[in-house]
Amino acid sequence: MSQKLTTTDHSRDIAGLKYIYPVISRRAGGLSIGINFNTNNACNWRCVYCQVPDLIKGSAPEMDFKLLEQELRFFLRQVLEGDFYQQYQVAEQHRVIKDIAISGNGEPTSLKGFDNAIELIGKIATQMKVFPDSKFVLISNGSLMHQTGVQKGLKILNKYNGEVWFKVDSVTELGRKKINESKQTTTKTLSNLELSSHLCETSLQTCMLDFLTAEETRQERIAYLEFLKQNTVKIKKVMLYTLARASLQPEAKKLKPVNKDQMELFAENIRLLGYKVSVAS
Ligand code: SF4
Ligand 1 midpoint to CA 35 (Å): 15
What's residue 26's pLDDT? 67
CATH fold for domain 20-280: TIM Barrel (3.20.20)
What's residue 8's pLDDT? 55
Name every protein residue with a CB atom under 6 angstroms from any ligand 1 atom. 43, 45-47, 50, 52, 106-107, 141
Bridge pairing between strands 56-57 and 42-43: parallel
Specify the ligand 1 atom closest to the Cα of 181. 5
Percent of the chain with pLDDT over 70: 94
pLDDT at position 150 over 70: yes
CA dist., res. 58 & res. 42, Å (int): 5
Q: Which residues contact 241 (CB under 8 A, 6 or more apart)?
A: 27, 205, 206, 207, 208, 279, 280, 281
Going from N- to C-terminal start, the domains of the chain cover: 20-280
Length of the chain (residues): 281
Ligand 1 midpoint to CA 177 (Å): 13
Residue 161: left if φ>0, alpha if ψ -120 to 50, beta else—which one? left
pLDDT at position 2 over 70: no
What's residue 60's pLDDT? 98
Residue 112: left if φ>0, alpha if ψ -120 to 50, beta else—which one? beta
Specify the ligand 1 atom closest to the Cα of 49. 7
Average of per-residue pLDDT across 185-209 = 96
- Secondary structure of residue 78 in the 3-state scheme: helix
CA dist., res. 12 & res. 18, Å (int): 8
What's residue 25's pLDDT? 77
Q: Which residue puts its alpha carbon closest to atom 7 of ligand 1?
A: 50
pLDDT digits (tens, 9 = 90+) for 70-86: 999 999 999 999 999 99
Q: Which residue puts its alpha carbon closest to atom 8 of ligand 1?
A: 50
pLDDT at position 1 over 50: no
CA dist., res. 126 & res. 188, Å (int): 34
Which residue among 44, 47, 51, 211 has the greatest number of ligand 1 atoms within 8 angstroms of its CB, and so is best to mutate?
47
